[in-house]
Chains A and B, each alone.
Chain A
Amino acid sequence: GIQVEQSPPDLILQEGANSTLRCNFSDSVNNLQWFHQNPWGQLINLFYIPSGTKQNGRLSATTVATERYSLLYISSSQTTDSGVYFCAVEREDYKLSFGAGTTVTVRA
């Protein structure tokens, strides 16, 4: 099956810093999504981005489908950005394969 690798596994940031999270996938995909899991376990949709670049406030994402990777940028990080960030790709019929996640800790 398709492999999804995320890096780095852990990231510690000082408030106000910028960061980049990476997601590599092993095969062509129909869909790629980025999620943020908050400390209460809720998965929050950040981006649906099978290709191209999108921005939403301090967050932006870029997917280069031909090279099988996606990047999530966090700018001017805040403590509320802490949590686990997951990349997930759609295998077939909306079934998602998740990466292992990047745990982000933003310190005040």
Chain B
Amino acid sequence: SAVISQKPSRDICQRGTSLTIQCQVDSQVTMMFWYRQQPGQSLTLIATANQGSEATYESGFVIDKFPISRPNLTFSTLTVSNMSPEDSSIYLCSVPTPWGTDTQYFGPGTRLTVL
């Protein structure tokens, strides 16, 4: 299984500010994903972080609000920009195993509260 870490684990931010979340994987992976889980809700895919090219965003998510970087095959960042209380969520990164079972593994998540 892949070992995934995220920083920060939680944060409380003021509206109008931005927060950058880091995701680090212990092995090289082709694909990394960012998901959002709003309070009491299920997980929704934000975007695919592509190494060497721009991220691919799902419907309802835009680069200006959620810029993503993927400088190498083990690391990605997600920035939540110009935050509002509606951005309060858990943000999780995930990776598929690069071999075998196609199981996806998730990081521990970043719990964001916007005041």
Contacts and interface: CB of A to CB of B under 8 A. Distances in A.
Contact of B48 (A45, A95, A97, A98): A95
A43 B65 CA distance: 25
Interface string B52-91: 0000000000000000000000000000000000000010
A88 B42 CA distance: 10
A98 B33 contact: no
Looking at chain A's contact residues, the main secondary structure is: strand
Contact of A45 (B37, B41, B45, B103): B103
A5 to B, nearest CB: 11
Specify the main secondary structure of chain B where it touches its partner.
Answer: strand
B43 A98 contact: yes
A48 B104 CA distance: 9
B90 A99 contact: no
B49 to A, nearest CB: 12
How many A residues are at the interface, by size bracket?
A: 20 to 34
Interface string A90-108: 1001111111110000000
Contacts of B48: 93, 95
A42 B108 contact: yes
Interface of B: 1, 31, 33, 35, 37, 41-45, 48, 90, 92, 94, 96, 101-106, 108-109, 111
Given A43-B109, A94-B33, 8 more contacts: A42-B106, A42-B108, A45-B105, A86-B42, A94-B96, A94-B102, A97-B45, A98-B43
